[in-house]
Amino acid sequence: MKQIRSIAILVCVVSSLAVAQTRPDNRTEQDIRRINSQVAEAGLHGDKATAERLIANDYIYTGMDGSTRTKAQIIKDMQPLPANVKYSSRLEDVVIRDFGGTAVMSYRMVEDVEVNGQRNSSQYRSTDVFMRRRGTWQLIATHTAMIPANSKPK
């Protein structure tokens, strides 16, 4: 169970693989969706170099229990998903707001994790904040909250 929790935290940190299929309206939205996807891929594959490049040095992650983690802590713990783990996810209700040099992406993530035949489905609400630095976007903050299993999406 600890392994599933660690995987869930890592996946929440790096968001998800599947971004909603709507066509982006502008360049910022395209960039934010691309970076979100690349950070997610890096987390799932243990690609520390990509995460190092796309996540700001002063990044802060706030988890479901209120705890916080830094970029250094997250990258230190990054590992590829074990062979016995099957993972899939999708993002729904994606909203990206561009405030010039800052962009905010909020979404509902639906994920399915199977470890040694044991399946677990979860839903989360997440908000990612990106900042343009030296001409490129970086992820600077994430906050994730679990949606209780018995609640309906809003």
| Residue 128 · residue 105 · CB < 8 Å | yes
Pairing mode, if any, of strands 136-147 and 55-62? Answer: parallel
109 has a pLDDT exceeding 90: yes
> What's the CA gap between 71 and 34, in Å, rounded?
19
Residue 21 has what pLDDT? 35
Query: What's the confidence (pLDDT) of residue 149?
Result: 83
The confidence score (pLDDT) of residue 25 equals 53
Report yes or no: 48 and 42 within 8 Å, Cβ to Cβ.
yes
What does the pLDDT look like over 36-88, one tens digit per residue? 999 999 999 999 999 999 999 999 999 999 999 999 999 999 999 998 999 99
- CB burial of 85-102 (b: ≥16 within 10 Å; e: otherwise) equals eebebbbeebebebeeee
pTM for the whole structure:
0.79
